[in-house]
């Protein structure tokens, strides 16, 4: 096997540049050499060598010696210098370079090849003694840090003391003799800390650096980084050895970093920084303040020091030409490192540049318009999850933040407002025009009005699919959940965090994209859903197969969803309508009634309200399917909890407090999520589902008559486990439909289907499809019941499960493809076998998660349904899944 690939001076052994073999940096150095760009000659030791190095227990094969020697000979041949030659020494840089860029790894050793003898040669050939000794001390410092892993603080301290002793404030004031003296000190430091003298043999230096690069692949830092970024340990890193070029050889030399487009805004303008008479790490380390690359950027910033465009116009023009070539060649925005050595430009690195969501969008659309990439490639290049950043107001990145604690980033967007501890106060203050943040230990359905009134929601408990998180995402409200650092005293209305106290009315800010909770108000910036966004969405829609619907239950949410491109409602959770202040009394009357007759009386009051809800939603969604789920949550959720509330509610319902409490305790359940809920309510109180069915069909006929555009109601039965349950429920719906149609002398098409959210339902899908006309996978409950982890309590331990690698990701966020996914595949297959073409969708939170959407595409579902603000994300993710 060949392990060494040369590049530069007309040679490019790597050919097209295989990233897997040569690593990202090596492949692109080779690639730049291949298209004739000025790359200092060098060679890459492959990632395969790294893997073999570990397999062989930290040893190299015999053959590598000769290969490395031939690599060095290649560099010597082109530069005319010789490695270790005291008269005219070759100096090299040694850098790591994995397939994906990995900040956790050893990065760079510069000036390798310097020793007590060659430093003299460097001084002679460069005619600059100060430069030579400065280079030598930099080399010892870097080598000691990254290869010998000695305490770099000691070296920095020695430099500081040397400057102080001489009365200097800047490195540039150090003379050749000062550097010489410092080199002696550095060497003494190495002996003291390493118990061996600094290596003088240049080959020892080289092999030391190579082994350090390979060794860094298994460093703790690198392992952590790999885990966080899903980079497999088998990949290994390459090593790049390259002739040194110097940006610190006087005023005609410089070094810099640049982006071919603005990585923050995406603007098609060069963006970068450079420093005259400096070496690369000076720019990165921020020792001197770098100068602007372009005149326009300098002027915009009102900065004085000349830009490179002004200070070195010819080299700048050459560099700009290289930018063009690189963008055309790699067909993406590039992040570049370069050096100018005495007027001559050298390219040290190029790679696809990291960018903000906004920039990613603009660059992708611009490049497609420029003809550099296709529309499909543009679609593939924007991370759907990053769109989130664009759809909600975000915190001004320039504003200072007083961070109090961190919770889960449950619903993106940022919000500031006055702290309130209960939903009623939230509503009241909102009506007075205040911005409020609702702070709760956890939220429950009865907080809905307060959540709606609040600008943001903060909870001390609960995971990513806790009530607060789900509802907040649905409403597009920013939410931080499970902020365990908070201690909330509801009685005293005090919030304690990190030794500080906040009271009702104190202003805080939450960032639902990061989970940060901050004191005071942090300014936000509004999203711009400008042209690029719309353009990319149109391109995405051209390639996607999956339909995208929305989980929405108010006309406003439906409108938002439709504006974002939803093609129907995939889940309308009717219970949320029951919490409305005007109806909750009737809902409670129904629950408190001890006879069917009493329940029917209360339901009669609810009927016109529900009918009105549905009519409004049908109007907004005219011409599109709307899936309405009949009542799902256990009834106790509608009853009061606190003492004060009991009295209030008892009065409103004209019953005694005792009776109310008795009923509440009767309804109490140990496992409400596995209790009296879903279609079990319909089985025991069929009149509830009857009322809802009637409201749906009456509303549908109203809208048909009013708009001429008949809605397509899809009545959905929740939490079905058996065919018989669905049969009973469908019979109710069909009977009511027939009644309403007969009464009105008109009809609409409708479907009756079920959620598949219990493992038994998935297993028996073949049988259930004999009755159900569509399936919608309720992956929240299906995840909860398949894994047996409570969706409301999981937040407390799930992070550890992810940290320890038991789950790759929170299964309530991204579908557990192997477990829950298998049930879905099986149910889809069995359902289709019974009823070919049965409509299949997903309406759990996963419907808005790109990885889960890819799974849905693979499984051949017909649609995904996501909260309104995730609709664009789902559209893009569905398109990418189809590519």
For residues 832 to 851, the per-residue mask of contacts with ligand PEP, x marking binding by CB under 6 A and - elsewhere, is -----------xx-------
Q: Which residues contact 440 (CB under 8 A, 6 or more apart)?
A: 421, 422, 447, 457, 458, 459, 460, 468, 488
For residues 767 to 796, the per-residue mask of contacts with Mg ion, x marking binding by CB under 5 A and - elsewhere, is -----------x--x---------------
For 289, the token pair is 């303040």
Determine how β-strand 237-243 pairs with β-strand 42-45. Answer: antiparallel
With respect to Mg ion, which residue has the nearer C-beta, 113 or 718? 718
50 catalytic, yes or no? no
Residue 108 is labelled as binding a ligand: no
811 counts as binding Mg ion under rule CB under 5 A:
no
Nearest approach, Cβ of residue 776 and ligand PEP (Å): 8
Given ligand PEP, Mg ion, none, residue 844, with its beta carbon under 5 to 8 Å by kind, binds ligand PEP
- Give the separation between CA 351 and CA 337, rounded to whole angstroms: 9
- Give the separation between CA 337 and CA 108, rounded to whole angstroms: 13
Interaction residues for Mg ion, span 745-764 (CB under 5 A) = 757
790 counts as binding ligand PEP under rule CB under 6 A:
no
| Maximum separation of any 2 CA atoms in the chain, in Å | 106
With respect to ligand PEP, which residue has the nearer C-beta, 53 or 863? 863
Among 44, 779, 786, 867, binds ligand PEP (CB under 6 A): 779
Residue 60: closest CA among 48, 74, 75: 48
For 371, the token pair is 């003809």
- Give the separation between CA 436 and CA 404, rounded to whole angstroms: 18
Is residue 654 classed exposed, middle or buried when 0-12, 13-18 and 19+ CB atoms within 10 A define those classes? exposed
Using CA atoms, how far residue 158 sits from 17, 193, 286, in Å, is: 43, 14, 19
Residue 875 is labelled as binding a ligand: no
For 745-849, where are the alpha helices, taking DSSP H only?
Answer: 759-763, 765-768, 779-787, 795-803, 820-834
442 counts as binding Mg ion under rule CB under 5 A:
no
Among 450, 640, 778, 821, binds ligand PEP (CB under 6 A): 778
For 187, the token pair is 């060497």
Do residues 357 and 366 touch, judged by C-beta distance below 8 A?
Answer: no
Residue 172 is labelled as binding a ligand: no
Given Mg ion, ligand PEP, none, residue 628, with its beta carbon under 5 to 8 Å by kind, binds none
Q: How many CB atoms lie within 10 A of CB 848?
A: 29
711 counts as binding Mg ion under rule CB under 5 A:
no
Residue 381 is labelled as binding a ligand: no
- Give the separation between CA 347 and CA 703, rounded to whole angstroms: 67
Given Mg ion, ligand PEP, none, residue 637, with its beta carbon under 5 to 8 Å by kind, binds none
With respect to ligand PEP, which residue has the nearer C-beta, 265 or 780? 780
Nearest approach, Cβ of residue 757 and ligand PEP (Å): 5
DSSP state of 636: G
Which residue has 């909890």 as its token pair?
641
Number of residues that bind Mg ion (CB under 5 A): 3
Residue 757 is labelled as binding a ligand: yes
Contact window for ligand PEP (CB under 6 A) among 274-282, 642-650, 776-784, 828-836 = 776-784
Given ligand PEP, Mg ion, none, residue 178, with its beta carbon under 5 to 8 Å by kind, binds none
With respect to Mg ion, which residue has the nearer C-beta, 42 or 633? 633
For residues 630 to 659, the per-residue mask of contacts with ligand PEP, x marking binding by CB under 6 A and - elsewhere, is --x---------------------------
Q: Please identify which of the residues 50, 558, 572, 843 carries the catalytic annotation.
A: 843
Nearest approach, Cβ of residue 467 and Mg ion (Å): 12
Number of residues that bind ligand PEP (CB under 6 A): 10
Given Mg ion, ligand PEP, none, residue 222, with its beta carbon under 5 to 8 Å by kind, binds none
- Give the separation between CA 816 and CA 808, rounded to whole angstroms: 9
Do residues 272 and 258 touch, judged by C-beta distance below 8 A?
Answer: yes
Among 91, 210, 367, 571, binds ligand PEP (CB under 6 A): 571
DSSP state of 414: E
Which residue has 């995402």 as its token pair?
473
810 counts as binding ligand PEP under rule CB under 6 A:
no
Among 126, 356, 780, 790, binds ligand PEP (CB under 6 A): 780
Nearest approach, Cβ of residue 270 and Mg ion (Å): 52
Residue 709: closest CA among 621, 811, 823: 621
Please say whether the dihedral angle defined by the alpha carbons of residues 724, 758, 551 and 442, taken in this order, is positive or negative: positive
Contact window for ligand PEP (CB under 6 A) among 56-64, 88-96, 235-243, 772-780 = 772-780
Phi, psi of 278 (to 5 degrees): -150, 160
The half-sphere exposure of 578 on its side-chain side, counting CA atoms within 13 A, is 27
DSSP state of 565: T
Interaction residues for ligand PEP, span 604-633 (CB under 6 A) = 632
Residue 277 is labelled as binding a ligand: no
The CB-nearest residue to Mg ion is 781
Q: Please identify which of the residues 467, 576, 636, 846 carries the catalytic annotation.
A: 467
Which helix (H) or strand (E) segment holds residue 712: the answer is strand 712-717
With respect to ligand PEP, which residue has the nearer C-beta, 86 or 445? 445
For residues 740 to 759, the per-residue mask of contacts with ligand PEP, x marking binding by CB under 6 A and - elsewhere, is -----------------x--
Q: How many CB atoms lie within 10 A of CB 9?
A: 17
With respect to Mg ion, which residue has the nearer C-beta, 725 or 781? 781
- Give the separation between CA 50 and CA 214, rounded to whole angstroms: 6
Determine how β-strand 254-259 pairs with β-strand 237-243. Answer: unpaired
Nearest approach, Cβ of residue 514 and Mg ion (Å): 28
Do residues 233 and 102 touch, judged by C-beta distance below 8 A?
Answer: no
Is residue 268 classed exposed, middle or buried when 0-12, 13-18 and 19+ CB atoms within 10 A define those classes? middle
Contact window for ligand PEP (CB under 6 A) among 2-10, 180-188, 295-303, 779-787 = 779-787
For 553, the token pair is 């239950």
119 counts as binding ligand PEP under rule CB under 6 A:
no
- Give the separation between CA 355 and CA 292, rounded to whole angstroms: 19
CA end-to-end span of the chain, whole Å? 36
576 counts as binding ligand PEP under rule CB under 6 A:
no
Nearest approach, Cβ of residue 220 and Mg ion (Å): 42
Q: How many helices (H) and strands (E) does the chain have?
A: 36, 34
With respect to ligand PEP, which residue has the nearer C-beta, 575 or 690? 575
811 counts as binding ligand PEP under rule CB under 6 A:
no
557 counts as binding ligand PEP under rule CB under 6 A:
no
392 catalytic, yes or no? no
With respect to ligand PEP, which residue has the nearer C-beta, 178 or 632? 632
Known binding residues are 573, 629, 757, 778-781
Interacting residues with Mg ion (CB under 5 A): 757, 778, 781
Interacting residues with ligand PEP (CB under 6 A): 571, 573, 632, 757, 778-781, 843-844
List, by residue number, the catalytic residues: 467, 843
Known binding residues for Mg(2+) are 757, 781
């Amino acid at each position: 096997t060949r392990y060494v690939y040369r590049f530069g001076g007309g040679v490019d052994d790597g050919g097209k540049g295989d990233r897997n073999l040569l690593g990202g940096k090596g492949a692109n150095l080779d690639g730049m050499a291949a298209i004739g760009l000025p790359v200092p000659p060098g060679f890459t030791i492959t990632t395969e060598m790294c893997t073999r190095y570990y397999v062989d227990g930290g040893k190299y094969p015999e053959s590598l010696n000769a290969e490395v020697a031939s690599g060095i000979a290649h560099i010597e041949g082109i530069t005319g210098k010789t490695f270790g030659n005291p008269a005219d020494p070759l100096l090299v840089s040694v850098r790591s370079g994995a397939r994906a860029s990995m900040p956790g790894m050893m990065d760079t050793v510069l000036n390798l090849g310097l020793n007590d003898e060659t430093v003299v040669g460097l001084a002679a050939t460069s005619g600059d003694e100060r430069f030579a000794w400065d280079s030598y001390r930099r080399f010892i410092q870097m080598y000691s840090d990254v290869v010998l892993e000695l305490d770099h603080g000691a070296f920095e301290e020695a430099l500081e003391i040397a400057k102080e002793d001489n009365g200097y404030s800047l490195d540039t004031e150090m003379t050749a003799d000062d550097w010489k003296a410092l080199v002696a000190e550095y060497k003494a430091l190495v002996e003291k800390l390493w118990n061996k003298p600094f290596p003088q043999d240049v080959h020892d230096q080289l092999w030391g650096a190579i082994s350090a690069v390979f060794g860094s692949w298994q460093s703790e830092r690198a392992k952590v980084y790999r885990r966080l970024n899903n980079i497999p340990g088998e990949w290994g890193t390459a090593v790049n050895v390259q002739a040194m070029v110097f940006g610190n050889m006087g005023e005609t030399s410089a070094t810099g970093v640049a982006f071919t487009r603005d990585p923050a805004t995406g603007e098609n303008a060069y963006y970068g920084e450079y420093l005259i008479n400096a070496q690369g790490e000076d720019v990165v380390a921020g020792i001197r303040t770098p100068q602007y690359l372009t005149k326009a950027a300098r002027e915009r910033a009102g900065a004085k020091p000349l830009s490179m465009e002004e200070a070195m116009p010819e080299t700048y023009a050459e560099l700009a030409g290289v930018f063009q070539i690189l963008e055309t060649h790699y067909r993406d925005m590039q992040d570049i490192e370069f050096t100018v050595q005495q007027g001559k430009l050298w390219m040290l690195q190029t790679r696809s540049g990291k960018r903000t969501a906004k920039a990613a969008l603009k660059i992708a659309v611009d490049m497609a318009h420029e003809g550099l990439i296709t529309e499909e490639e543009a679609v593939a290049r924007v991370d759907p999850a990053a769109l989130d950043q664009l759809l909600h107001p975000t915190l001004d990145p320039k504003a200072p933040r007083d961070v109090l604690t961190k919770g889960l980033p449950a619903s993106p967007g940022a919000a500031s407002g006055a702290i309130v501890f209960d939903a009623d106060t939230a509503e009241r203050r909102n009506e007075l025009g205040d911005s409020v943040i609702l702070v709760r230990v956890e939220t429950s359905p009865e907080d809905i009005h307060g959540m709606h009134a609040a600008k943001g929601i903060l909870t001390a408990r609960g995971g990513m699919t806790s009530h607060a998180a789900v509802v907040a995402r649905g409403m597009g409200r920013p939410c931080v959940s499970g902020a365990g650092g908070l201690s909330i005293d509801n009685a005293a209305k005090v919030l304690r965090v990190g030794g500080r106290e906040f009271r009702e009315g104190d202003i805080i800010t939450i960032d639902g994209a990061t989970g940060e909770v901050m004191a005071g108000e942090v300014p936000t910036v509004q999203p711009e859903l400008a042209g690029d966004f719309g353009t990319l969405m149109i391109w995405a829609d051209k390639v996607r197969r999956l339909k995208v619907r929305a989980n929405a239950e108010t006309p406003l949410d439906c409108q938002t969803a439709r504006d974002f491109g939803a093609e129907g409602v995939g889940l309308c959770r009717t219970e949320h309508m029951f919490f409305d202040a005007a109806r909750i009394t009737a809902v409670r009357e129904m629950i408190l009634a001890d006879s069917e007759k009493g329940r029917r009386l209360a339901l009669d009051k609810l009927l016109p309200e529900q009918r009105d809800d549905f009519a409004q939603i049908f109007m907004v969604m005219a011409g599109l399917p709307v899936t309405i789920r009949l009542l799902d949550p256990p009834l106790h959720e509608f009853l009061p909890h606190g003492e004060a509330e009991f009295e209030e509610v008892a009065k409103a319902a004209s019953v005694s407090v005792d009776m109310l409490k008795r009923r509440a305790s009767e309804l109490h359940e140990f496992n409400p999520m596995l209790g009296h809920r879903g279609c079990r309510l319909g089985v025991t109180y069929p009149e509830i589902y009857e009322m809802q069915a009637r409201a749906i069909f009456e509303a549908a006929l109203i809208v048909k008559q009013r708009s001429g555009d008949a809605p397509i109601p899809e009545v959905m039965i929740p939490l079905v486990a058996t065919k018989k349950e669905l049969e009973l429920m469908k019979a109710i719906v069909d009977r009511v439909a027939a009644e309403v149609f007969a009464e009105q002398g008109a009809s609409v098409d409708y479907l009756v289907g079920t959620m598949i959210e219990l493992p038994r339902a998935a297993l028996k899908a073949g049988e259930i499809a004999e009755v159900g006309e569509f399936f919608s996978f309720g992956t929240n409950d299906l995840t909860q019941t398949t894994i047996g982890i409570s969706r409301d309590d999981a937040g407390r331990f799930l992070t550890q499960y992810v940290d320890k690698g038991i789950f790759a990701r929170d299964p309530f966020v991204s579908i557990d493809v192997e477990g829950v996914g298998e049930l879905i595949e099986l149910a889809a297959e069995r359902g289709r076998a019974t009823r070919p073409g049965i409509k299949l969708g997903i309406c759990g939170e996963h419907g808005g998660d790109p990885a889960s959407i890819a799974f849905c595409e693979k499984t051949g579902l017909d649609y995904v349904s996501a909260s309104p603000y995730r609709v664009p994300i789902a559209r893009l993710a569905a398109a990418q899944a189809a590519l």
